[in-house]
Chains A and B, each alone.
Chain A
């Protein structure tokens, strides 16, 4: 296959040539288009944006799933507000669910039952809404991991990463405030936990509790307040942040993976109109359709089985929605540290895992791009994504973080683990106390080694080609496998990433013997940089590649001759 080999920063123009005639569109602005153009400059917008190029990769769909789930949440949520009554007023249930007839319950719970049993399609939309919430947070988490592992948070996209961290934290609050609304036994138990969490804040905890609950737990104001938070405050901020997030994606243009013709200075893919309109628009309907099918086929949060909230009851095996599981786990495994000082109580056993850990995650995520830029000294713009193996330390850090999260998350089901696997609950808890610290370290080392091996394998492929599957027998009787050079496309893709050198510490004194104050590279920074980069496997240079090919060529000739002799 003949391929151009000398293009560096430019790529051939591959505009589709369509025959004029049936496929040709309008020849001039007229009618509504002209009317709009005269008022809002439609033609300028169309000229600038209609053929905007988006690159194609399956992992770019993760953020789209999150966005579309959010739209489904808005649509289904509006439907639910038509019937849901955010009131803690007590009434006697008189709806069509026979098992609870005559039971005293809050109006919020009664209206949730009415939505489920008396409004046609109500249960379907409730389930779609809950599934969409779970998918929304799952998709945005996966999207965030994709951005992290590919280094898409680097300059110039640090601000968009920060917006993403904000979106993530707000979506957790949105989810939690949502599943607390029905006022069933499970959601009430969740709120009881939140009450304990708020109380535990040193100095201001009790005040915060009395302000949030309008007095003691549970009081009579909370559901109405959470309702405002859930349907107005948080979605409003989320919408604004999503708008900013998308605007920045358009301004920066989407990142792309390395590949033939892909450079830091272009973006290769399909045009918005018509391909991405159809693909992304169609994908919205696919996500929506799948969520409706999930709502139809998979039961979620059957509140009528839990019953109304009763502060004196709880079911064994109570679990929050999945995204709160890791905080739950931290709360479960922390030792019972509490200070009793001068008539005050400092509940570290709740404050640290609850408020502290959440704060640590969000702070760590928010700061990471800046910490990495400081360690690497990298000030360049990046539009080509890193293949995770080419940033071994970052990838290892990410996997270590995921492992830590997973350990906390598993600890959140320590009771389920012990009943399902017939092990001691205490043993699981003690194990997890150690695992949250040790497992990430193991994960870091293993991941880094895997990345380095993959880098070595890439280097090997470039220098010595791929295995041909043809086994040679030498005259002496030994066997060996021939290698064939990888394609030009692959060679370019594998060598395109930048090779970083660790930063060197600057001298403590400058050339004139005057001590350097706060300038240059500190020893700490140099050490961090060495830790980050020094193990990386070097990308083969042009000379190395030529030399290796020259060396292999001799052997290759043999193979070609043999192949000819065999009649191929």
Chain B
């Protein structure tokens, strides 16, 4: 490629009159390393030293890999370091970095630093090229016969377009179809049922009303959850997790329709946020507010779980509970409305709204 600048006339760019004439590329000022032999040799030695350290670090890496025990660690300034990660990283990182700095130093200190100019060409083609291209295009069109037999192209396009249909249909088995029946047994149903005991979610012990003091919150699950395993366990847990709170019945509002859903001020709510499904657990004991740590939706558990702040739009579903013959807290049935985030087919008219009785 030539570096000679041939002034060319670009047809589309009219010659502009600049207020100041182009002074041309700056004159090259020699570097220290160009004019001082000692400085040049120093730069040369530095670069050699950088490249020369790389094999040393590479060997150190291998020694560390085999010699440092996997579990070794140590503390520096309150930070705990994993010895292998640290030393393998330091040796490998420095080795790779030195290759880079050596190359850049070579480019900056030793290679010529004279700027050169190269001519640009317009991105587009000139008229002559366009005309020549058109000749070829038209020759091709003529050869193809589509001029006289026009339907060929349409038929080919239509046929290829229709190929998208089987390609898309092939994906139809990616998941079950969420038709009403399927929804009713999946996202609209949990394993809560009549008589299922509420158990502490950590030690799996069933809870009695007397286990809870006023102001206390317990994370709980249905006892039946712990019989499940693997993804079934996870899927059911993602819907059935609840929180049980005990509040002073005199300080909370319980609508008439929910009078029998609680036991002496002990109420159970879904733990799954009605916004995007995070488990909610930040309990403000004095205000009866429950705050979701993900997006800060806040629900008033002293008022049937209505939203008092944040992006959530629906009240927390309440689980009706009672006491069984042995005195344990049990569910009266499943949640009356689906738990978790909204979905299009959800009938949200039955959710509790502020003012409902």
| Chain A positions near chain B (C-beta within 8 angstroms) | 1, 3-16, 18, 47-49, 51-53, 56, 88-90, 96, 104, 117-118, 120-121, 123-124, 127-128, 156, 189, 192-193, 195-197, 199-207, 209-220, 251-253, 260-261, 263-271, 274-275, 278-279, 281-293, 295-297, 309-318, 328, 331-338, 340, 343-347, 349-350, 380-381, 383, 414-415, 425-426, 429, 462, 488-489, 491-492, 495-496, 498, 539-542, 544-545
A120:B100 contact, CB within 8 angstroms: no
Given the known interface contacts A117-B70, A296-B89, the answer about A337 and B313 at a Cβ–Cβ threshold of 8 Å is yes
**Alpha-carbon distance A269/B313, docked complex (angstroms):** 59
Chain B residues with CB below 8 A from A123, complex form: 82, 84-85
B348 within 8 A of A: yes
Contact of B282 among A13, A253, A316 (CB under 8 A): A316
B interface list, Cβ under 8 A from A: 1, 3-8, 10, 12-13, 16-28, 65, 70-71, 82, 84-90, 92-104, 106-108, 111-120, 122-124, 171, 174-178, 182-183, 186-187, 201, 219, 221, 229-231, 233-235, 237-238, 241, 271-272, 275-279, 281-282, 293-297, 307, 309-314, 340-349
In the assembled complex, the Cα of A545 lies from the Cα of B296 at a distance in Å of 61
Query: Which of chain B's residues has its CB closest to A54's CB?
Result: B118
- A216 / chain B contacts, CB cutoff of 8 Å: 186-187, 235, 238
> B24 near A3 (CB under 8 angstroms)?
yes
Q: Is A489 within 8 A of B23, CB to CB?
A: yes
B175 near A205: Cβ-Cβ < 8 Å: no
A336 to B308, CA, bound (A): 10
- Assess whether A1 is in contact with B27, with CB atoms less than 8 Å apart: yes
Count chain B CB atoms within 10 A of each CB in A11, A204, A263, A488 and give the residue with the most.
A11
Given contacts A8-B21, A156-B124, contact A425 B94 (CB under 8 A): no
B166 to chain A, nearest CB (A): 17
Number of A-B contacts (CB under 8 A): 409
Chain B contacts for A127, CB-based, 8 A = 85
Known: A14-B28, A282-B99, A349-B313. A290 touches B93 (CB 8 A): yes
CB<8 Å pairs between A and B, sample of 7: A15-B114, A195-B276, A212-B174, A260-B22, A268-B115, A285-B96, A381-B13
| CB-based contact B103/A281 at 8 Å | yes
Chain A residue at minimal CB-CB distance from B291: A425
A218 adjacent to B27 (CB under 8 Å): no
Asked if B174 and A211 make an inter-chain contact with CB atoms under 8 angstroms apart, the answer reads: yes
* Partner pick for A282 among B5, B103, B174, B229, CB 8 A cutoff: B103
With the chains together, A4 CA to B86 CA distance in Å?
56
Contact, CB under 8 Å: B89 / A297 = yes
- Asked whether B234 lies within 8 Å of A278 as measured between CB atoms, the reply is no
Complex: chain B residue closest to A312, CB-CB: B241
Contact B19 A539 (CB under 8 A): yes
CA distance A109 to B293 in the complex (A): 23
Residue in chain B with minimal CB distance to A104: B229
Contact B101–A345 (Cβ < 8 Å): no
Q: Do A261 and B100 contact each other (CB < 8 Å), given the known contacts A344-B346, A350-B275?
A: no
User: Are the CB atoms of B175 and A215 closer together than 8 Å?
Assistant: yes
A285 to chain B, nearest CB (A): 3
Q: How far is the CB of A267 from chain B (nearest CB, A)?
A: 5
Which of A53, A195, A263, A315 is the one whose CB lies under 8 Å from B277?
A195
Q: Is the CB of B97 within 8 A of A350?
A: no
Q: Given A53-B118, A278-B104, are A196 and B341 also a contact pair (CB < 8 Å)?
A: yes
Q: Are A13 and B5 neighbours in the complex by a CB distance under 8 Å?
A: yes
- Find B94's partner among A197, A278, A293, A315 (CB 8 Å cutoff): A293
Q: A14-B116, A337-B313, A338-B313 are in contact. Are A540 and B97 (CB under 8 A)?
A: no
A282 near B293 (CB under 8 angstroms)? Answer: no
Find out whether the CB atom of B19 lies under 8 angstroms from the CB atom of A349: no
CB distance from A13 to the nearest CB of B (A): 5
Q: How many Å lie between the Cα of A429 and that of B307 in the bound state?
A: 15
Report yes or no: A268 in contact with B117, Cβ–Cβ below 8 A.
yes
> Do A283 and B100 have beta carbons less than 8 Å apart?
yes
The 4 closest A-B pairs by CB, nearest first: A296-B89, A289-B97, A196-B276, A282-B103
Contact A261 B294 (CB under 8 A): no
State the Cβ distance, A346 to closest chain B Cβ, in Å.
7
Residue on B with the closest CB to A9?
B7
A362 to B70, CA, bound (A): 46
The smallest beta-carbon distance between B281 and chain A, in angstroms, is 7
Which residues of B have CB within 8 Å of A498?
16
Residues of B within 8 A of A220 (CB): 230-231
Q: Are B313 and A51 within 8 A (Cβ)?
A: no
Query: By the criterion CB–CB under 8 Å, are B20 and A311 in contact?
Result: no
Please report the C-alpha to C-alpha distance between residue A538 and residue B176 in the assembled complex, in whole angstroms. Answer: 65
Closest residue of chain A to B2, judged by CB? A13
A209 touches B313 (CB 8 A): no
Complex Cα distance A443/B27, Å?
41
Measured between C-beta atoms, what is the minimum distance from A17 to chain B in Å?
A: 9
Chain B CB within 10 Å — which of A5, A199, A315, A331 has the most? A199
Q: What CA separation (Å) do A336 and B177 show in the bound complex?
A: 29
Q: Closest residue of chain B to A492, judged by CB?
A: B20
Inter-chain contact B25/A11, CB cutoff 8 Å: yes
Residues in B with CB closer than 8 Å to A49 are: 1
- With A14-B116, A117-B70, A290-B97 as known contacts, state yes or no: A492 contacts B21, CB within 8 Å: yes
Which of chain B's residues has its CB closest to A126's CB? Answer: B85
- Once the chains are docked, how many angstroms separate the CA of A284 from the CA of B272? 47
Judge whether B118 and A253 touch: CB under 8 Å.
yes
Complex contacts, B341 vs chain A, CB 8 Å: 195-196, 199-200, 347, 350
Q: Give, as a whole number of angstroms, the nearest-CB distance from A440 to chain B.
A: 22
A201-B178 Cα distance, complex, nearest whole Å = 14
Asked if A289 contacts B18 (CB within 8 A), the reply is no
CB-based contact A8/B234 at 8 Å: no
Chain B residues, Cβ within 8 Å of A278 = 103-104, 106-107, 111
| A336→B96 contact, CB < 8 A | no
Is B96 a contact partner of A199 (Cβ separation < 8 A)? no
A96 to B82, CA, bound (A): 14
Contact A275 B237, CB 8 Å, known A13-B5, A217-B277: no
Asked whether A253 and B120 contact (CB < 8 A) given A5-B23, A218-B238, the answer is yes
Shortest CB distance B20–A (Å):
5
The smallest beta-carbon distance between A228 and chain B, in angstroms, is: 12
Q: Are the C-beta atoms of A217 and B238 separated by less than 8 Å?
A: yes
Decide: A11 and B175 in contact? CB cutoff 8 A: no
B23 engages A13 (CB within 8 Å): no
Q: A261-B24, A347-B342 are in contact. Are A314 and B281 (CB under 8 A)?
A: yes
B101, B102, B296, B340: the one within 8 Å of A414 (CB): B296
Closest chain A residue, CB of each to CB of B97: A289
Closest A residue to B186 using CB positions: A216
**Contact B96–A52 (Cβ < 8 Å):** no
Of A6, A192, A281, A291, the residue contacting B21 (CB under 8 A) is A6
Chain A residues, CB < 8 A from B111: 274-275, 278
Q: Which residues of A contact B312 (CB under 8 A)?
A: 336, 349
Candidates A318, A381, A540, A544; contact of B294 at CB < 8 Å: A318
Nearest B-chain residue to A282, judged by Cβ: B103
Min Cβ gap A420→B in Å is 15
Q: How far is the CA of A37 from the CA of B159 in the complex (A)?
A: 44
Complex Cα distance, B118 from A271, in Å, reads: 9
A489-B296 in contact (CB<8A)? no
A290 CB contacts on chain B under 8 angstroms:
93, 97
Shortest distance from the beta carbon of A308 to any chain B beta carbon, whole Å: 10
